[in-house]
A and B are shown apart, each in its own frame.
Chain A
Amino acid sequence: MSQVLHPIEKTIIKLLKTTPNLTEEQIVEKTNLSIDQTRRGIEWLRLKNLATVSESEKSFVKLGTNGLRAKQDGLPERKLVNLIESQPMSFSDLQKKLGNEINVAIANAKKNNWINIEKAEPSNIVSLNQKPEQTREEKMISYIGDNGKVAADQIKDTATLESIKKRPDYIIVETTKSRTVLLSEQAKTIDVEKEDIGAIDVEAEVPRVYAARTHPLKDTIDEIREVFVSLGFSEVMGNYTQPSFWNFDALFTPQDHPAREMQDTFYIKDKLAEKFASADQIKKVSAAHKKGWKYDWSVDAAKKMVLRTHTTCVTIKYLADHKPQEDRVFSLGRVFRNEKVSYKHLVEFNQVEGIVVGKNVSLRDLMGIQTEFYKKMGLYKIKFWPTFFPYTEPSLQTMVYNERLGKWVELFGMGIFRPEVTRPFGITRPVLAWGGGIERIAMLKYGLDDVREFYNNNLSWLRNVTKCQ
């Protein structure tokens, strides 16, 4: 197998083939590599099983402050014998010259059998006994001093070293950890000169880059939009802020109904709609409320601006303004609920709603369009249950079986607009309507359990979630 090697790796291999088992520092010394380059290169080789690294501890000795002074001026006992070389001196005179080194000097000189001490008054007399030869200690101090730093294991005369160590601050022992690099058998066979020059390590790890992308929820929204278009629906749009008239009154929701109260609707402070519907539309909606709910409908309540609670306000306005005989339209976008935010509730989420107007369209058709929609979204196991919506009759909801959760999940709602809703706007043909929250579908798609994730814009999620689902 041919290995692609970096120039650093080549330099190290080349060196170790001729001089095996070097430490990192030694490699630095013998090449033009910096310590960082060397370490990096060794790490690469290690990962490729071309080298092993054995860590070991190594002790060095060097002279301490007193040791250095002794090397320059001599040991105290040497100073002593130098003073008495020509003639004996009294103890008190020697003390004046040697200071507090006197005791050490006398003790060692005596041990070496260099001096005689004669009892006398007022002070003992010290005289030379024999010619003082250079001692082992002196030799070692001068050896260590000349080399600056000596590996402890190079000193054979350990007894002498130990005796010098007993003198305070003569010897400093330093322990360093060293990493010795050994080439593997495979590496030893590599001829670095023959390696392909300019090749790169195609097997190495590279830094991660992230593709810029559209938001995953947006992708789901687009997918749903495409499905609607493919089923023959055209998109209509409307504002997020709506007069209560289109959000509630036009859908036959009575003005004193608890659903209109603050609790789940966002009313916009100090904002009233000015011109929001034709005089005829207002008149007829008012009449429908009076007849159906038996109360006095107020135009002022209808003017209050709200953040739309559903996209139905857009579809009903489209129907009221265009009075189509045959049509398929959908509206898609944000809707708002004044609720506490939790893992399953948001104050602002996306909803889609489709409507079909036609002469003979039926509830079974509505179920058929639903089935087709879910099929295109990749959802095949569905069933329908009856339910209640204030502005449709009959009303159904779809249940979709989710394999991951192992249970039926409620998805879109559907129904046929009540005559009380359509009649005031002169719509005589049946209007099939269906829709629901998009985040719920996107959660199933991306396997999320917390709906808030869609709006956290957490980059690690946005960058890593699989796009093609």
Chain B
Amino acid sequence: MPVVTLYLNRLEKLVGKSSKSKILDALPFLGLDIEEETKEYVKVEYSPNRPDYATDVGIAAGLQGLFGTKKGLEKIIIKKSDRLALIKTDSSVKKIRPFVCGIIAKNGKLDDEAIKQLIALQEDLHFGVGRRRKKASVGIHDLDALSLPLVYTVKSKDHKFVPLTMTASMSVAEILEKTDVGHDYGKLIQGQKVPMIIDSKNNTISFPPIINSAMTTVSTKTTNLLVEVTGTDKNSTEDALAVVATTLQGLGFTLYDLKTDSKSSSLIFKTRPMPLDPNLVNQTLGLDLTSATICNYLRKCRLDASPRGKKIMCNIPRFRFDIFGPMDLVEEVALGYGIQNLTPTLPLSASVGQKNAITKKMDQLGQIMVGLGFTEALNTSLTSKRTLYDETKRNSSKLIEVAESKSLEYTILRDSLLPELLENLSRNVHESYPQNIFEIGTVFFGDSPINESVSLACISADKDASFTKIKATLQSLLKTGSDIECKTKTSTNPIFEQGKTADVIVNDKKIGVIGQIDSKVIENFKIRVPVSGFEIALSDFF
């Protein structure tokens, strides 16, 4: 989850008519988790579906609603621009990254903190609604550094400009090859031609979705901005623009129209009507609220709402694309009502609960193992090839591997419990003996497409650990647990010593293996006493 740093003095000023302690108490009830708190600032985690909370203006608007000082939706006001305020789209770009929209924001001020937050907002939009810049990516420019109108077109890979944070010009090919962003997002633009936004003086403004040009870098001296959003999904580009525009208006900028082809950007910011049934609210929340009260709570969440007949009609600002349907509005009502004001109720159960039969059986067999003097170990299903196969000399030809694990220790799904139990012993060589441990756990086999079954394995390490002793343990487990007699039939198995291992046979069917652990295997695990053990499949007993 993303995190934003809120400076309390700033936030207090933005919210107005409040106090720091009141703000701190209220933040969690907007759905913001306080991660870190000092006298000057708090770091809060916000949910990725509310990118407007990447900035303190967004959070201030939310708090004003909760405090009741400002309610209802903040209307987006777009002033008319002259005819040059335009992004023309060249047909050549339609096949690559077809959609573009934008806005102009004037007469505002940005300090370092606001710039930092705008960049974070941009990154959230790129990640979430932009789907890692594929569906939408945002560029924010210094309006005074460019000349309108702009053209959204394509260029070849030898096209050159000075990219953001650089001082010398680079070709598109170089940017894709040599920069981090080029590496990360270059795969989004296949083919020889790449999208480019050019101004009327033929200067490059942006190379979407990779990087802006250095020429239009925004700084604390910038007062007028141009925002452009390009992407492969029209809806997503407009969603992203709506969040940026709302935030800039909140920061005190005046918004001006930026046409894309013949379409005015003000069309983008139309509110969305959505009817809400008060019964759904009351049923879901377990409350009995009037329509008027519900409307009040919705307005506290900065939406517009008014009763219409038996229903409530809501108006949702464009940037609240996290609202899919009426159930999302129910949550808004709950927030407006205040989660702290909801008292819990305990519904009577119509059912009698019970454990799963398999769980029960596993518990019972575990109890028998404890009775036989074995302590339970818990190991992970994912382990390493080294433990599972190499050090135990087992055959790895059918291993099941996960893709791109972040740790070499967790790459293979285990097909046996014994290797990790041996690994456990190797970490406990300084503890007193005898060491008797067991595990009941899931093992994985690679067919149809993956077969999972539950196994029980145990090992005993002591100076006089022997085949006889471990066979006695196995017999007792099966007899006590399920009144089963087993046979042990001579076999070979790389983890066990030749001549001291057998298959475990129940009703003419092999259910497991037993034996004295091979001396080389013991040596591999740096264990200095004899070890014997067995592993049986439990699936047949369930």
A residues adjacent to B (C-beta < 8 A) = 208, 210, 212-215, 217-218, 222, 225, 228-237, 239-241, 256-258, 262, 266-269, 271-274, 292, 294-295, 305, 307, 326-328, 334, 336, 338-341, 346-348, 356, 358, 360-365, 367-372, 383-388, 390, 393-396, 410, 416, 418-420, 430, 454-460, 462-463
Contact = CB atoms under 8 A, between A and B. Distances in A.
A294 B238 CA distance: 14
Contacts of B354: 229, 234-235
Most buried by A among B127, B135, B344: B344
A367 B373 CA distance: 43
Contacts of A396: 339
A358 B367 CA distance: 37
A364 B281 CA distance: 12
B482 interface: no
B327 A365 contact: no
Interface string B39-56: 000000001111000000
B319 interface: no
Contact of B358 (A225, A237, A462): A237
Contacts of B340: 383-384
Given A268-B402, A327-B351, A334 B381 contact: yes
Interface stretch (B141-149, B241-249, B388-396, B428-436): B428-436
Interface stretch (B92-100, B172-180, B329-337): B329-337
A347 B381 CA distance: 10
B234 to A, nearest CB: 10
B33 A385 contact: yes
Given A212-B370, A258-B127, A386-B29, A364 B403 contact: no
Contacts of B131: 256-258
18 contacts: A230-B353, A236-B356, A239-B452, A258-B127, A258-B132, A268-B400, A268-B401, A271-B450, A273-B449, A327-B351, A328-B349, A328-B353, A340-B406, A347-B382, A367-B345, A385-B28, A385-B339, A457-B424
A217 B401 CA distance: 27
B30 A386 contact: yes
Interface residues of B, number: 91
Contact of B366 (A214, A360, A369): A214
Contacts of B289: none
A463 B375 contact: yes
Nearest to A294: B235
A271 to B, nearest CB: 5
B168 interface: no
B346 A371 contact: yes
**Nearest 7 CB-CB pairings of A with B:** A232-B349, A362-B286, A388-B47, A364-B286, A394-B331, A367-B344, A368-B344
Interface string B15-36: 0000000000000111101000
B331 A231 contact: no
A7 to B, nearest CB: 29
Contacts of A363: 284-286, 334, 342
B66 to A, nearest CB: 11
B199 interface: no
Given A267-B403, A368-B347, 4 more contacts: A210-B375, A269-B401, A356-B347, A368-B345
Nearest to A291: B324
B12 interface: no
Nearest to B331: A394
B413 interface: yes
B284 A266 contact: no
Given A235-B355, A364-B285, A419 B346 contact: no
Contacts of A212: 369-375, 436
A360 B283 contact: yes
Contacts, number: 260
B363 A222 contact: yes
Nearest to B410: A347
B379 A457 contact: yes
A396 B375 CA distance: 39
Nearest to A239: B452
Contact of B402 (A266, A367, A390): A266
Contacts of A362: 283-287, 345
Given A262-B404, A269-B402, A418-B327, A457 B370 contact: no
B378 A215 contact: yes
Nearest to A276: B449
B345 A225 contact: no
Given A338-B405, A348-B381, A459-B375, A292 B324 contact: yes
Nearest to B327: A393
Contacts of A340: 406-407
A327 B452 CA distance: 27
A387 B30 CA distance: 8
B267 interface: no
Contacts of A225: 355, 359
Nearest to B367: A214
Most buried by A among B340, B380, B446: B380
A457 B427 contact: yes
A237 B433 CA distance: 37
A455 B379 CA distance: 6
Interface in B424-464: 424, 427-428, 431-432, 435-437, 442, 444, 446, 448-450, 452
Nearest to A261: B132
A228 B352 CA distance: 10
Contacts of B49: 388, 390
Contacts of B431: 459-460, 463
